[in-house]
Structure 1
């Protein structure tokens, strides 16, 4: 069976997690809107990642799985 994005929180819950996090490219307004509409919130953490000779800013998003 292929894993689907909506299945991910269930796997985290089974592992005992109550919060999850992910990284989104800072310049990706579309990606940021997508996650924010799904209840994810940026926590203010920014990292820089060097990819193909370019420095990219990534923002950390978090979400509570329940409560």
Structure 2
């Protein structure tokens, strides 16, 4: 497999970036992944699932 496009992109100025570092990242990832999965599977409306997920994530930081 030719990985040159990925390597070239990584070497380019501004080609990659660091993800933000935050507390509770495992929990945030779990909450958001679950919400998005429900949306993608058609089991929830995006607005409802993301509003609920946002409230759960916000609660982690209170």
* TM-score normalized by the length of structure 1: 0.21
Higher relative contact order (CA 8 A, sep 6+): 1
